[in-house]
Structure 1
Amino acid sequence: MKPATDYSFKFLASMRLRGDVAADSLISEVFADDVQKTAFRNLLDFINVNTDLQQVTNFYAVKEAFRSAKKLPSWADQKLMDQGAKFFAVHAGAIMNLLGLLSLPYCYAAADGARVLDLSERIKNKPEHRLNETADFVWDVMAPNAFKPDGKGFTSILKVRLLHAAIRFYTSKSSKWNAADWGLPVNQEDMAGTNLSFSLLVVRGLRKFGLAVAYADQQAFMHLWNVIGFLLGVDERLLPETGKEALLLEEAIRLRNFKSSAHGISLTKSLVRYFALVDPNFQPKQTMQLMRYLMGDEVAGLLTLPPEPAPVSTIKFLQLISNFQVLKQLNTKFSYQNQRSDYQKLRPASHKKPNLRYVLPQTLTS
C-alpha cells in the first residue's frame, strides 16, 4: 500500500470525481431492469454471514464487487487486525458514544458531503435508523470473528459498499444535485474522510476522554479500518499507513471541505434530538457541549453549536466513567459479546425492529 503522502488539493479534487467502478457498474446494470433489481434485493437479504458469499453463483459470482468482497487485501496484517479488534473490545462503550458525539457530526461539517445525506428525508426525519445502521455495521466489522467464515465482516462491508453505489446512482439523477460544483455523490474524498472519522477521530476522542492510547494500539486500530476502507472501495492512496499521514490527510480534507451549511446544521440538530430520545442523561444542552469539547470550537462553530463549553465537572466525570469501563473490560477479558448485548439493551423498544438496514433505496428526493 503506497498512499500519496502529500495529499495535494489537486489530487483530492480528482478524488471528488471518482466513485467505485466495480460497485457502480454492477448497480447500473442491475437497476436498469426492475425484475433484476428485485432479484438483487432478495440476494442481499439472503447473504448474512461470510460463508453465504460462497453460495452466490451465476450472474453475480463473476462481478468484481462480489469476487473481491471475500478477499482481504494483500497487505492486510492479521496480527494487527486482531490487535485492532481487541482494542475496540476494550473501549467499545466509549467508541460507540464517540461515533454519535464526534464522528458523525464531524462528517456533517463537510458541507458538500453532507448534501447527500440531506437529500434523504429518512436521515433527517429518522436519525435513529442512521445511527442504528452505523452502530450495527461497526459491531459487525469489529467482531473478533469478523473476517472468519462465521463472521459478518465481509457481508456487512459489501452491503454498505453497494448501498453507497445505489446512493450515487440515484443522487446523480436528482435535479437537486450539482455535480459540477459538488463532485460525485459519495466520492472517494468523502469516503476517505468518513473512514478517518471512524479511526483517527475516534482515537483522538478517546484521548479527550482521558484515556491513554498507545501508538501501537492506534496503528492497529487504524490498520483494521484501512482494511475495511479497502473492502468498501476506497482508493488505497487514501488509506494512510502512519499516524502522521493520517493527520495530513485529515487536515487536507478538512481545509478543502469544511464550511457551515444549512444541511450540516440540520443533520446535527436531528442527531442531538436523537440522543435525548435514547438516553435522558443526554439532554440537548449537555450533548452539544460534549460535541463542542470533542470536535473543537472551530468545527463546532460551523455546525452552530452554542459557544458554551462543557463544565469541567462533566468532562472529569466522563473521563472517570471511561477509565472505569476500561478496567471493567480488562477484568472480563475484553468481552465483545457482553458489550454488544449491553449496547442493544440501550435501544428504545421502538427501534428494535427486524434488521432492514441494507434494503437499497428505491429513489432519493427528486
Structure 2
Amino acid sequence: MTSATRTPTAFTYWENRQSPRIQRAEALFERVFRSSPFPSDDAAREFCESLFLGDTVAENFVDEVYAADPTGTRALLDRALAHGIDSLPDVPESMRILFDEFETEPDWLDTDLVERGAAVWRRWGTMLFTVAGGITLEMYTEAAVATPLSLAGGYAGDNAMRRFLETCKFWIDTSEPGALSRIGSEGRATAMKVRVMHVAVRRKVDGHPEWDREKWGYPISQGYQMLTLLGGSTVPALALRLVGLQTTADEIRALLHFQKYMGHLLGVAVSNFPTTIADSLRMTAMVSAARSYDAGPHGKELIESFPAGFAPRPEQRGLARLRARYNYGIHGAYTALFMSPVTRSDYTMPRAFPWVLIILLRFPLLTAIELSRRFLPGVAPVVEKVAVAQRLRWYRDQMNGREAEFDANGALRR
C-alpha cells in the first residue's frame, strides 16, 4: 500500500503500514472486528494533504491588518468580538471576511448537541486538564508538534505552567453554557484569540532555519489542529474510565460535535472531521502508526517541563506549598496513567507512587457518583455544579491573580 499524495516525510504512516508488526496487528483486528483499524486510504491521503495546509482566511487578516499594528488591531478585535463586526467603522476587507466566516453557522450545526458536549467537559472538571495534559505529552515526541512549541517557548521551561494555564482558560471559556453559540460570549472571543495566536506562531516558525516543511508539513497545520480537537473527545473519554469517570457513547458523540464546531471557530477545515467513535479511533490509530519519535531534546524539554511546572516554588509557604506539592505528585501519577509506559520511561518524570494510590482509592467514589448522575433524578446538575466550581477554584489558585493573555506578539526564543 503506497501513498500517491504529498506526505511529510516524518509522517511515516504509509511506510509503517508495510511493516510486518503493523500488518499482523491489522489482520488480527480485521478478523475480530470485521473492519479495518485505520481510515480508508482516501481519508488518509486527505489527512496527509492537510498537514501542508493552514488557515488562509485568518492568515490574510494577520498579514494585512494585524502585522501592521498588533496593539491597535487587538483592540479592534476585542471590540468586534464583544459588539459585532458592524460596530466598527471602516472594517478592513480581510477582517470582515474573517468575521463573516466566524459568525456564520454551518449547515451541519446542532446547537443542542454542542451544548451536550460542552456539559461533558464541565462535568469532567479539573480531570479534563489532567487527562488532556497527559495525552498531549505523547505527541511531544513528534518534531512536527514539538518544534513550533519549542521555538515559541510557551510550553517549555519556566513558561510551561503559564501557557498550560492559558490552555485551561481556553477549555473553561469554551465549555461554559452557551459559550460557542452566543455571539459576544467570552468563549467565542477566546476561540478567535487562539486562532489569531496560532497564525502568528505559524508565520514565525515557517521559514525558520529549524523548520523543515518537506519533513513536517506546515507549522500548526490543519491536520495537527484536527488531532488536537480529537484529543478533547474520544480518547480522553475512554482514558478517564481509568479514574472512574464513565462517559457514555452518546456523550462522546456529543463531544465530537462540540469539537467539530470548535474547530470551525478556530479555522479548522472540519468537513471530514470524524462524527462517529469508530472513525475517530481509526484516525487516532493512523496517527499512532505514523509516529517517528523524532522530537529529540525539544520533545524532552516539553515533556519534562509539564509536570515540573507544578512543583513547589521557593517563594511558596504553608498551604500554598502543600497544595503545590499535591498538584506535583498527583500530576506525576496522572502521567503514568495517560502516557504510554514506553514513552514515559524515556524521560525524567515524577514518581507515580504513592500518589497513584489516591487515584485508586478515589475510583469507587467517582464510579458511584457517575452511576448516581446517570440514574438518579436531580444528581447530574449537582455533580456539574461542584465540578465547575472546583475547576474555577483550581484555575484561580494556580493563576494567583494573573490573567490569560493569548499573546500573538511574542518573539521566538531562538
TM-score band, normalised by shorter chain: 0.7 to 0.9
Of 275, 288, 303 in structure 2, the residue corresponding to residue 268 of structure 1 is: 303
Letter of the 1:352 counterpart: N
Q: How far 1:301 moved relative to its partner?
A: 4.5
Structure 1 residues 68 and 141, CA, compared in 2 at 3 Å: closer, same or farther?
same
| AA of the residue aligned to 2:406 | Y
User: What CA distance in whole angstroms lies between the structure 1 residues aligned with 2:409 and 2:278?
Assistant: 38
User: Is this contact kept in 2: 1:86–1:334, CA < 8 A?
Assistant: no
RCO (CA 8 Å, sep 6+): is it higher in 1 or 2? Answer: 1
**Correspondence for 1:297:** 341
Q: Note closer, same or farther for the CA distance 1:292–1:335 as it changes in structure 2 (3 Å cut).
A: closer
Aligned partner of 2:73 in structure 1 is 40
Distance (Å, rounded) in 2 between the aligned partners of 1:108 and 1:24: 25
CA distance in 2, matches of 1:14, 1:85: 30
Equivalence map 1:236-251=2 (5 Å): 236-251=270-285
Q: Give yes or no for the alignment of 1:344 onto 2:344.
A: no
Report what 1:203 is aligned to.
Answer: 237
Q: What per-residue deviation string (whole Å, max 9, x for no partner) do you get for residues 301-356 of structure 1? A: 46565897888744422424544665898647157666444333334767334534
What is the aligned counterpart of 2:90 among 54, 58, 68?
Answer: 58
Pairing 1:1-366 to 2, within 5 Å after superposition: 6=41, 9-33=44-68, 36-46=69-79, 49=82, 51-60=83-92, 63-100=96-133, 102-124=134-156, 125-146=158-179, 147-149=181-183, 151-257=185-291, 259=293, 261-277=296-312, 279-283=324-328, 287-301=331-345, 313-320=357-364, 322-323=366-367, 326=370, 331=379, 333-334=381-382, 339-347=387-395, 351-366=399-414
Cα 1:69–1:337 shift into 2, 3 Å: farther
Look up the SS of the partner of 1:122 in the other structure. Answer: coil
Q: Per-residue deviation at 1:262?
A: 1.8
* Counterpart code for 2:109: A
Q: Would you say the 8 A contact 2:85–2:96 is kept in 1? A: no
Q: Is the 1:264–1:303 Cα contact (8 Å) retained in structure 2?
A: no
Does the C-alpha gap of structure 1 residues 167 and 345 become closer, same or farther in structure 2, counting only changes over 3 Å? same
3-state SS of the aligned residue for 1:280? helix
Shift of 1:290: 2.6
8 Å CA contact retained: 2:123, 2:388: no
SS at match of 1:119: helix
Task: State how far apart, in whole Å, the 2-side matches of 1:184 and 1:123 are.
Answer: 19
Which amino acid in 2 is paired with 1:166? A
Identity %: 21
Instruction: Measure the CA separation in 2 of the matches of 1:48 and 1:356.
Output: 17
How many Å apart are 1:120 and its aligned residue?
Answer: 1.8
Q: Take 1:138 and 1:185, find their aligned partners in 2: how far apart are those partners?
A: 22
Larger radius of gyration: 2
Instruction: Return the alpha-carbon distance in structure 1 between the equivalents of residues 88 and 365 of structure 2.
Output: 46
Q: Which runs of 5+ in 1 are unaligned?
A: none
Q: 1:306 to 1:154 in 2, by over 3 A?
A: closer
Question: 1:18 Cα deviation (Å)?
Answer: 0.5
User: In structure 1, how many angstroms separate the alpha carbons of the residues matched to 2:159 and 2:368?
Assistant: 33
> Which residue identity lines up with residue 405 of structure 2 in the other structure?
R
Mapped partners of 2:395, 2:121: distance in 1: 20
Q: Distance in 1 between matches of 2:132 and 2:230?
A: 12
Q: Check the 8 A contact 1:19/1:184 in 2, yes or no.
A: yes
Structure 2 segments unaligned to the other structure (5+ residues): 1-38, 313-322
What are the Cα deviations for residues 235-271 of structure 1, in whole angstroms up to 9, with x where unaligned?
Answer: 2245101011101111112222351532222111111
Aligned equivalents of 1:318 and 1:145: distance in 2? 31
User: 2:326 corresponds to which letter in structure 1?
Assistant: N
Could you tell me how far apart the structure 2 residues matched to 1:224 and 1:92 are? 17
Return the offset for 1:43: 2.2
| Alignment CA distance shift 1:103-1:317 (3 Å) | same
Structure 1 position 176, deviation (Å):
2.3
Letter of the aligned partner of 1:342 in structure 2?
A: Q
Contact 1:109 1:302 in 2 (8 A): no
Contact 1:88 1:142 in 2 (8 A): yes
Query: Alpha-carbon deviation of 1:75?
Result: 0.5
Classify the secondary structure of the residue corresponding to 1:123. coil
Paired residues, what number? 358
Cα distance, 1:201 vs. partner?
A: 2.2
Measured in 1, the distance between the counterparts of 2:346 and 2:291 equals 12
Amino acid at match of 1:26: F
